[in-house]
Structure 1
Amino acid sequence: MVSENKAAYPTRSPKRWVIGITGASGAIYGITLCRQLLNAGFHLHLVVSDAGWRVLKEELGWNVSNRLECVNSAFGSAVSEGRMTYHPLNDIGASIASGSFICEGMAIVPCSMGSLSAIASGASTNLLTRAADVMLKEGRPLLIVPRETPLHAIHLENMLKLSRLGVRIIPAMPAFYNGPQSIEDIVHFIVGKTMDNMGIEHNLYKRWGQPNE
């Protein structure tokens, strides 16, 4: 007979998200999202594709020769305090590769068309795409911020396929009704829209109809 002792069931952590950064332009979106989530008290598990590291170097000027040191430098005490865990791309035995790893979901920000294609086809070729596959099979939230233009039919078909599976597709398309005055304002809008879809409160951008303060 199965025991009804509730202690036998795993304890759910409502403060844990997996964040993926791939080789699409716009790595600043992913880094900003991580910082916002850390400031809000969430625990993060970060995985970055090889192309993602190239974009961090080219767009943000990061020295990525030592990736772990790079993460330590970018997120400081969050790493030493255990609030940020970095997983190498090829560590297929990492915790986030298993469905038994309990988390709120995963956001891939930004997401390249190559990674999106792999996820849509179920090709778990590395830890990032495996973690995304886990979200799908476990029925957990998966959010993707694609950054590509123009889009051809294969891109659109892959996004439609994932959308039909319940994946939230949040294109990196900034709005201008909020009167952005800087690149930071534009970045905050995309990150804010992502956090909206994660169900996380923020004040990163002025919403439509919101009065000036």
Structure 2
Amino acid sequence: MKVFHIQAATPLCTNTFLLIGDQGHAVAIDPNAPAQRYLDLLREHHAHLAAVLLTHGHYDHMGSVAELRKATGASLMVSELDAAPHVDERLFPPLDQVSCYGDGDHFSVDDMDFQVIATPGHTSGSVCLLCGEYLFSGDTLFCGDIGRTDLETGSMAQMNASLRKLAAQVPDDVQVLPGHGPFSTMEQEKSRNYYLRAAMEDPK
């Protein structure tokens, strides 16, 4: 598996990723950079985009979804809660023809095995995607920080429960690749991230 980091040159500087398996099947995670950047990498590596995976339904994580799907025929996967209609359609753009995943789901694309970990808090349908040694944490867990919980469907109580779940389920040596900011590891976050440490120490 090859992992490519593609940062969207937007005010929010979203981290997006293209993963290409050994047999040439690929997935894009939270694609928000210009579609041509993904298409050029796919062409360079003789790969086909099989699926687009979203960690949550915010606009800054899906800017090139429609164009990529039109160009490749890729499927779109997102949690059911974030695929549902929302009050603020600027924040949650409507989605159609989606496949929904839920907590604990496992699926494979090429040689890439994904585990879905539901992590509500930033949005009610936020998920983290664990693939081998990588955790694509969206806007749940950042390096030294967490995502906002004051937007539509956000919840600090749910965020704390999600952080405890990540601490319990994700091995320390896994690399944390968040939706914004620098990369980290679970070990580093457990030792340095105030919010994660506080959630781990809270039995609620």
TM-score normalized with structure 1 length: 0.36
Which is richer in strand?
A: 2
Which is richer in helix?
A: 1
Structure showing greater Rg = 1
